[in-house]
A and B are shown apart, each in its own frame.
Chain A
């Protein structure tokens, strides 16, 4: 396979979704993130 466009162009509706995801957390915790959770190894 040759050249593949993937992942960079973000549509307006996607921008709104992303902003909403960060915005709702920013209002709750003023951090934009959940509290950190250490990954488990899966085994």
Chain B
């Protein structure tokens, strides 16, 4: 399938970084790995819990007593996702072809935390470590659409990958006059445009499906790097 005419135009730099990530991605794990899938599914579950009887269901989802503030929820969320990934590694389903432990796992987990902070702690400052109290966090997360949360998670996931390859290629050191915002734009422009396009590939009236979302990302990365 050829690239659609409406596909977003990414920067030359981001396109090359994505090509490099794809070239080194022998197992096509960038768009389909267990950590990303578990992060997407957990995000959906968390939002649904926040909309319902969260005082009862949150502890069950996290496997521990509900935390008291944002930092505890973010920490326990990542632990929950990692536990599920570990479980897949130790007891893989016989028919699963999904890469479980990949170099992209850290980007998925970091992206989850970044997405949670964007929605639950929008006015955060470096001086405050704990973040808002749990009731406030739950109220904000419960008002987020799953599709919107997935798109934000994907933007951070892609931004993390692009910035990782950028750093590995030591571009800043090689090009001293590069705009100071170049790394920021990889996330705020290129990763945003690509993640929003992926969202648009899924019909708006369709129930969120994490596997379909990952497959759309896989196709979009192919188009971006062709």
Residues of A at under 8 Å CB distance from B? Answer: 1-10, 14-15, 17-26, 30-34, 36-43
The number of residues on chain B lying at the interface, defined by a beta carbon within 8 Å of a beta carbon of chain A, is: 63
CB distance from B28 to the nearest CB of A (A): 8
Q: Which residues of A contact B57 (CB under 8 A)?
A: none
- B180-198: contact bitstring with A at CB < 8 Å (1 yes, 0 no)? 0110010001101110110
Complex-state Cα separation, A40 to B7, whole angstroms: 7
> Given contacts A10-B165, A15-B170, are A31 and B6 in contact (CB under 8 A)?
no
CB distance from A24 to the nearest CB of B (A): 7
Complex-state Cα separation, A9 to B168, whole angstroms: 7
Interface status of B99 (Cβ within 8 A of chain A): yes
Interface status of B12 (Cβ within 8 A of chain A): yes
Complex-state Cα separation, A40 to B200, whole angstroms: 8
- Minimum CB distance partner of B107 in chain A: A7
- Chain A at the B interface: SS class: loop
Does the CB pair B182–A33 fall under 8 Å? yes
Complex-state Cα separation, A25 to B14, whole angstroms: 11
- A-B interface contact total, Cβ < 8 Å: 162
> Given contacts A42-B197, A42-B201, are A4 and B182 in contact (CB under 8 A)?
no
B76-129: which have CB < 8 Å to A? 89, 92, 96-104
Does the CB pair B197–A41 fall under 8 Å? yes
Interface status of B8 (Cβ within 8 A of chain A): yes
Q: Which residues of B contact A42 (CB under 8 A)?
A: 4, 6-7, 197, 200-201
> Given contacts A32-B182, A37-B193, are A18 and B169 in contact (CB under 8 A)?
yes
Does the CB pair B179–A6 fall under 8 Å? no
Complex-state Cα separation, A43 to B166, whole angstroms: 31
Complex-state Cα separation, A25 to B170, whole angstroms: 16
Complex-state Cα separation, A32 to B181, whole angstroms: 9
